[in-house]
Structure 1
Amino acid sequence: MIVGVDEVGRGCWFGPVFAAAVSLRDSAAQELSILGLTDSKALSPRRRAALVPEIEARATCWALGQGSAREVDTKGIRVATELAMLRALQRLPQPPELVLVDGVLTLRPWAGPQRTIVRGDSQEASIAAASVLAKEARDALIRRLAQRFPGYGLERHAGYGTAQHRAALLASGPTPMHRHTFLTKLFRGV
């Protein structure tokens, strides 16, 4: 079983980093490609949402994992990202024979075989599928959290560092779900 992993939310100021792990047979990868599967960043929100049930139905298996904002603050973004990927892989029904990791950095906590692929989310269907599932799951969580933390505009920017988010932070301060280590420059001199 070959599994692609990818993460989303690495550069956000708010919330967890999400990862997904997806295994696809060649036939499923071809079908999803015909349906327009590619890197989640290249897809419209509507197209991404439409692909989720298609991926879930065709995947041999898939799973999600996350690294919390607290883990980002205490362990760093790379470790939190690795934890999210590792948690996704550990939730699969069986360990993969090979993990395909998007990017140039290996997944240090993974003891099994792995291969990094630069721009893997636009070259490998399993990584692209992982990017779509992770993005949609994280965005759904952030929309729910936007109701719990109104006034930050989370439903619009998903926790990324926009002018609106900056203004809300300066006016109201960070929530417990913000990545405080990402905000040190913002609050310096305030």
Structure 2
Amino acid sequence: MSMEGVPAGPGVAGVDEVGRGSLFGPVFAAAVVLDHPSAERLLKAGLTDSKKLSAKRREQLLPLINEVCMDAALGQASAREIDRQGIRCATELAMLRALQRLDRPPELVLVDGSLPLRLWPGSQETLVAGDSRSAAIAAASVMAKQARDALIRRLSQRFPGYGLERHAGYGTVVHRQALLASGPTALHRCSFLKRLLIGPC
């Protein structure tokens, strides 16, 4: 992971989201603050973009992230908020909630992607492919991914038959077939299903 020119340190929080493209459940975000030694330790342990890590590797990294980070917090926005406000606004809400739950407001927020966090009143910097350029963003991506996956696994017991434990709510063939056969649950994103022509919520 190349971090050349990317700000880092105690006053810098990396923020990332997961679940943006899912058909089911909330979108999650995490905010993580790392100092330089902690960032180096995580990078040496193999930290990178959560999408490039196996589930087993993420599971191994999460306790280390929690151990060495200076601060960290989670936020989420519900399926209903996604339907009411759209996915971008809901994603920003999840990020804002994560940042607001930090022990102290960061001096600078590093946002993964090219779109600024419009709700954040402080300084920020967008980083395209940030989860491969910033250890704090990468740690946030792992934390958010693990938290959301754990929630979806629990919800799969409440809503059996959709295979949620296997696809985390994304639009796989199995998931779409279950939706056509049984209809959506109360936690499906109606606005996403309309695009797929899978009937009313």
Give the one of 149, 152, 156 matched to 2:166: 156
Whole-Å Cα distance in 2 between the matches of residues 20 and 107 of structure 1? 14
- 1:75 equivalenced with 2:93 (yes/no): no
- 1:64 equivalenced with 2:50 (yes/no): no
Query: CA deviation digits over 1:121-162, x for unaligned, max 9?
Result: 011000000000000000000000000000000000000000
Whole-Å Cα distance in 2 between the matches of residues 116 and 74 of structure 1? 26
Q: Secondary structure at the match of 1:89?
A: helix
Whole-Å Cα distance in 2 between the matches of residues 84 and 115 of structure 1? 18
- Count of residues in correspondence between the two structures: 190
Whole-Å Cα distance in 1 between the matches of residues 69 and 169 of structure 2? 29
Whole-Å Cα distance in 1 between the matches of residues 79 and 21 of structure 2? 11
Runs of 4+ in structure 1 deviating by more than 6 angstroms, as ranges, are: none
| Within-5 A mapping of 1:1-190 | 1-187=11-197
Unaligned runs of 5+ in 2: 1-10
Aligned-pair CA distance for 1:189? 7.8
Whichever residue aligns with residue 22 of structure 1, its letter is V
Q: Secondary structure at the match of 1:107?
A: coil
Cα root mean square deviation, aligned: 1.1
Equivalent residue number for residue 7 of structure 2? none
Q: Secondary structure at the match of 1:14?
A: coil
Q: Give the conservation status (yes or no) of the 8 Å contact 2:17–2:95.
A: yes
Unaligned runs of 5+ in 1: none
Q: Secondary structure at the match of 2:196?
A: helix
Aligned-pair CA distance for 1:187? 2.8
Identity of aligned residues (%): 67
Q: Secondary structure at the match of 1:84?
A: helix
C-alpha distance 189-50 of structure 1, shift in aligned 2 (>3 A): closer
Query: CA deviation digits over 1:23-54, x for unaligned, max 9?
Result: 00000000000000000000000000110000
TM-score normalised by length of structure 1: 0.98
Whole-Å Cα distance in 2 between the matches of residues 9 and 107 of structure 1? 17
Whole-Å Cα distance in 1 between the matches of residues 132 and 183 of structure 2? 37
Whole-Å Cα distance in 1 between the matches of residues 36 and 130 of structure 2? 16
